[in-house]
Structure 1
Amino acid sequence: MAADDTSLPDHPTDDQPASPASTPSSFARSTPPAPVQTPRDTAGEVMDQHHTFDRLMTARVGALTGGLSVTSIMSAWVDWGTHMMQAPGTALSLWQEGAKMATRLAIHSAKVTAGQEAPPIIKPDPGDNRFRDPAWQTYPYSLWVEGFLLGQSWWMAAACGTRGVSNQHRRQVSFMMRQMLDVVAPPNIPWLNPQIVKTTLETGGANWRRGMTNFFDDVDRQISGRPPAGVEEYPVGERLAITPGRVVFRNKLMELIQYSPTTETVHKEPILVVPAWIMKYYILDLQPHNSLVKYLVDQGFTVFMISWMNPGPDDWDLSLDDYRRMGVMEALDIVTALTGEKVHATGYCLGGTLLSIAAATMAQRQDERLQTVTLIAAQTDFTEAGELTLFIDESQLSLLEDIMWDQGYLDTKQMAGAFQMLRSNDLIWSRMIKEYALGERAPINDLMAWNADQTRMPYRMHSQYLRALFLENRLSRGRYAIGGKTIAMRDIDCPVFAVGTERDHIAPWESVYKVHLPTNTEITFVLASGGHNGGIVSEPGHPRRHYRIATQQPDDTYVDPQTWKNLVNPQEGSWWPEWARWLSTRSSSERVPARAEGNRKKGYPPLDAAPGTYIYMK
């Protein structure tokens, strides 16, 4: 494999500038020309025109389908359907199982209707919270629940039990079947939901009037581009992201914030936080009681935070390597210039993946400015990247690329739909029931307000990220190149602290745990309770939190994720103090006087007060 194998011949790469293709004036756009290289012969210009027209049509189709590839969806159904037709034995087995289920349900229904005691035939999965209301256990609602659960079990067996279907298509069919089953689930049908029926009778239908008011308010907010109801209660800079600090550097891509010290002395080594650019950084600085930034500052650390710019159409050509160079590396240059010390580098989600790339590149170039690396809910190996991989195949990627090529970026709405589908019961159906059927506005909290403050993704960068990392997994396979040279995670020799969360549907903890495989250094791994965001915003004193922690040395035998989880006992409380202790023990014992924000003499005067200006970009 060549050292520059990262380069994609059909797409702009970190090491290859996007070269404009000849585009007819009738198709001229401010966004980039088609990246696919067409044959350069006598008909080359005509082929470019046809190719451009094809991409425009694909982008329009993608707008109608919400960014989902119909071809990808149909391919999965065709693969499953044709193999099912070739499996009469499987079909017979499913028919027999269905007949047994129907018979059991009929007998059970007869007993319950006659007033006899009868144990449930089937119970919801432990994580299924749709039927927690005790009313679901009463007649006749209990029969509808059991009938639905039996039918759901049968359909999922049909989706997963056919031999010959590709694993990707099997997972896609299972996912789509779950979505269709959710539509007909008893909780989502008003006259089958005991809570809706009871509320309607008690209020004389006033709940539906309130629900319609909520619905039209949401539609108006969607059309006008206003945030969801309740977000205005959490203004950024007033109630969120209020830890004192100053912007000490700004370029086209990011602002660098240095936070004001709260202790007289601080650790010599500062902390640089690289957040994800898919959302605003202040998930790590919500309110004073649950701000990870404030917690670190109060522990005597000098904290620097990158605040990413929200890209627009003119930023289509920002590459993944631009984020590394103009983001991580420029920030690191400023931090080391201001402090003169090595740095505790920390990356969250996509920021952690980017930091891993930067750290591996630095190790290859013998740049030793990193004291430690912390990866929070960040993946370096994407072979088990969770249900998000359902949306990543060649057809889906081509569709997304054409949409981004047309717009210059991937819009927030086009990303939000996919994330909501992954947890449709929690993020779509339960909200619709509460707000539209019961007429109750769900109270919003700081995390929900942050979640509504989304950002866009530049065309070139997001295409590279999805192809090189998600689809082809080049970083963990030793095929990711920077400047024409392949980098490797095993070159990172500073200690690593990695955090996964038990219910993470974006970066599953088993995937985060895979950082053990391509690296050859000391790794301390933490498995925290909660999900992708809630498990990270887990301040001391937060109720019902626990975590597991263990350290592996380079020479230790590898332990698989489930074995690791069974061997390591859970501890009550927040994982934040463990991280602070880990950072302290890997810092110099000597402390220095607290540092002021910026340094005019060194050419970095303090600029705007935190949270800066980029955070307000819409």
Structure 2
Amino acid sequence: MTDDGPDPFTNLFEAPAKFARALFQPAAEALAPDGLGDAGLSPQDMQHWAEVGAKLQSMWAQYQAEQLANPQALAPYLDPSRWMQMAEDWYKQMPIANPAEQQALLQEGIALWQQVLGQYGLTGDAPPAAEPELPRKDRRFADPRWRAHPAFALIHQTYLFLAERVTEMVDRMEDLPEDKREQLRFTTRSITEAVSPANFPLLNPVVMERTLETRGDNLVRGMEHLLADLRRGQLSHVDADAFKLGENIAVTPGKVVHETPLYQLIQYSPSTDTVMETPLVIFPPWINRFYILDLNPKKSFVKWAVDQGVTVFMVSWKSAGASMKDVIWDDYVRAQIDAIDHIRARLGVKSVHAIGYCVAGTTLAATLAILQRRGVADKVRSATFFTAQVDFEKAGELLNFIDDQQLGLVKAMSQDGYLDGRYMAATFNMLRGTDLIWNYVVNNYLLGEDYPVFDLLHWNGDVTNLPAKWHQQYLRDLYRDNRLVEPDELVVDNTPVDLGIVETPTYVQAGKEDHIAPAESVWRITEHFKGPLKFVLAGSGHIAGVVNPPGSGKYQYWLNDGAPRTLAEFRAGAVEHPGSWWPDWIEWLRTQDSATVPAAGKRKPGGKGDSVIEDAPGRYVATR
């Protein structure tokens, strides 16, 4: 209790039976006809409900006390006032208050209600349908309980109708620049996803039934999950304790053979008697942990490549702290060149194959241009790009986060010289709010379900901090101003960058359903590089489109042996191939350099006379 009135959880939880009987008695009876009954609750049930209410109030009071003692504990990007302000700004832009719009919505809403109620025989026009056919479908409401009672049918059908019409309003708004329209579309979708009736316990029949079945125990478990997430400042997707680096994730054997304050270099142990003479170095994005490419032996791209006879090196970037406050993009380019040179010297080879994933692919493109300008392009025999962008004109929904207001907000969150990785995690989750936010709110908080054990989702939540100066530079120079594709517009490591001079043979992979690096944006690299290039369009998105081992038998990929000038032309003439694109890539890699050597000497890291730092996966990947 406070001077401002009763704790909101008091009214919600102190008498669930009263709520169910008085407010939603018909729905409660439909869901659990033998549950409450006309005779009321037993003394044991009453006592249990009282205990549940007391637990919930106690947990919430304890959390409130913690917040009063430490007002900075709540991460600024989880501050509810920020999202309320976003909703208020959104409402001011929408023509919802227009009387004509209101009248049209009202009339169409009444017609919808008559249609829905008619399915249940409540309009007198026809008997109830055996299986109600509702006009709008959405997987959030696929459970039969959303259709079992007319009250819940009306709730979710009205919501879908209003969400649909509000989205159409954005499309019809006049005198709105297209970039602002896209931003408003994104905001509209985010808000309508947040207010879905599925996200509220009093409106969700699945949650109501679970609450009655467990006598509120689901709410206690859900509150435990919610408060744990609030304390850590991040939404949990999985049971984090189920995974341990080097034991059941990032398990491919290898050694850390080189390190700098910015990265460690891992060399993996060979599994074949001979290996390709030209080694491979992988540059993963430093906005995530490298082990997305080494989740477990069945999914690991690293292990698969090693088994194909490739000497594989992996860069493991260090999560930023205050000591990295002056790190900029130039430092990451220099780090890539340093890794390439170290591998060449270590193995006594002329060149390496290189892979750049996402932002590290963007950086690899700049690295190739710099090496070409300096006359040492032969240090990289071939380059492969996993869902990487160089031209950001069509960069998708992330463009909604790079206006001056958003850049100012990011800067304000980076007072210690680095951006907390939880902000980036929240941003990427918002791109798929239904799947990565609200689905877990319902399952973990409302239904009180146990967290799943899923390595991919564990990796998704294993965040890394970003150097503030680099992050601002990246968002401003690349995403907002798109300067990388302007010849010599950017100078990196004292060298002008011109992608148009890159002659390195290149393999480019894009994800058909990628929402972070859209295929159309990834395609643009084909319009800038000068050398031979092969483009493959893989099924699925930014992660599953890349991490798709041949043994899984999932998805497909498309190739076009012609000379398409656009992605649309590529798709029109492409041939679909089932399964993983990895075998196509390894075949392409071997055509670049087919020479092999024995897997001996320093090809076996940590062998006799080879000084190494530590076992893979190394310390940096565990740095928080």
TM tier relative to shorter chain:
0.7 to 0.9
**Structure 1 residues 269 and 64: CA distance shift in structure 2, 3 A:** closer
SS in structure 2 at match of 1:358: helix
| CA distance in structure 1 between the partners assigned to 2:251 and 2:602 by the alignment | 16
Structure 2 equivalent of residue 274 of structure 1: 283
Question: 5 Å matches for 1:178-217?
Answer: 178-217=189-228
Structure 2 equivalent of residue 503 of structure 1: 513
**Structure 1 residues 544 and 510: CA distance shift in structure 2, 3 A:** same
**Structure 1 residues 199 and 267: CA distance shift in structure 2, 3 A:** same
1:335 aligns with 2:343: yes
Q: Contact (CA 8 Å) 2:221, 2:445: kept in 1 or not?
A: yes
Structure 2 equivalent of residue 177 of structure 1: 188
Structure 2 equivalent of residue 488 of structure 1: 498
| CA distance in structure 2 between the partners assigned to 1:70 and 1:388 by the alignment | 18
1:394 aligns with 2:401: no
CA offset at residue 195 of structure 1?
1.9
Residue 593 of structure 1: which of 567, 591, 598 is its match? Answer: 598
Structure 1 equivalent of residue 112 of structure 2: 105
Structure 2 equivalent of residue 251 of structure 1: 260
Q: Contact (CA 8 Å) 2:387, 2:510: kept in 1 or not?
A: yes
CA offset at residue 614 of structure 1?
1.4
Residue 534 of structure 2: which of 524, 529, 538 is its match? Answer: 524
1:455 aligns with 2:460: no
**Structure 1 residues 407 and 545: CA distance shift in structure 2, 3 A:** same
| CA distance in structure 2 between the partners assigned to 1:450 and 1:600 by the alignment | 28
| CA distance in structure 2 between the partners assigned to 1:563 and 1:456 by the alignment | 40
CA offset at residue 150 of structure 1?
1.1
Deviation string 1:565-602 (CA, Å, 9 cap, x unpaired) is: 243233221121111111112222x3111144478999
SS in structure 2 at match of 1:378: coil
Structure 1 equivalent of residue 389 of structure 2: 379
Q: Which amino acid aligns with 2:120?
A: T
| CA distance in structure 1 between the partners assigned to 2:100 and 2:579 by the alignment | 48
Residue 131 of structure 1: which of 141, 159, 184 is its match? Answer: 141
Unaligned regions of 5+ residues in structure 1, if any? Answer: 1-59
SS in structure 2 at match of 1:272: strand
| CA distance in structure 2 between the partners assigned to 1:562 and 1:231 by the alignment | 42
| CA distance in structure 2 between the partners assigned to 1:252 and 1:149 by the alignment | 51
Structure 2 equivalent of residue 313 of structure 1: 322
SS in structure 1 at match of 2:255: strand
Q: Which amino acid aligns with 2:443?
A: K
| CA distance in structure 2 between the partners assigned to 1:185 and 1:66 by the alignment | 19
CA offset at residue 521 of structure 1?
2.7
**Structure 1 residues 606 and 477: CA distance shift in structure 2, 3 A:** same
Deviation string 1:363-417 (CA, Å, 9 cap, x unpaired) is: 122212211110001111111212111111122213322432x211000122222
Q: Which amino acid aligns with 1:403?
A: M
SS in structure 2 at match of 1:454: coil
SS in structure 2 at match of 1:191: coil
Structure 1 equivalent of residue 543 of structure 2: 533
Unaligned regions of 5+ residues in structure 2, if any? Answer: 1-71, 122-126
Task: Choose 173-182 or 283-292, whichever is displaced more.
Answer: 173-182
| CA distance in structure 2 between the partners assigned to 1:200 and 1:254 by the alignment | 49
**Structure 1 residues 64 and 233: CA distance shift in structure 2, 3 A:** closer
**Structure 1 residues 100 and 71: CA distance shift in structure 2, 3 A:** closer
| CA distance in structure 1 between the partners assigned to 2:189 and 2:398 by the alignment | 15
CA offset at residue 269 of structure 1?
1.2
Residue 546 of structure 1: which of 529, 553, 556 is its match? Answer: 556
Structure 1 equivalent of residue 308 of structure 2: 299
Q: Which amino acid aligns with 2:355?
A: T
CA offset at residue 287 of structure 1?
0.8
**Structure 1 residues 210 and 309: CA distance shift in structure 2, 3 A:** closer
Q: Contact (CA 8 Å) 1:122, 1:150: kept in 2 or not?
A: no
SS in structure 1 at match of 2:413: helix
What percentage of residue pairs aligned between the two structures are identical?
34
CA offset at residue 362 of structure 1?
1.1
**Structure 1 residues 435 and 596: CA distance shift in structure 2, 3 A:** farther
Length, aligned pairs only: 540
The structure whose Rg is larger is: 2
Task: Choose 313-322 or 452-461, whichever is displaced more.
Answer: 452-461
CA offset at residue 283 of structure 1?
0.8
TM-score of the superposition, structure 1-length normalised? 0.80
Structure 1 equivalent of residue 417 of structure 2: 408
CA offset at residue 470 of structure 1?
0.9
CA offset at residue 100 of structure 1?
4.9
CA offset at residue 480 of structure 1?
2.2
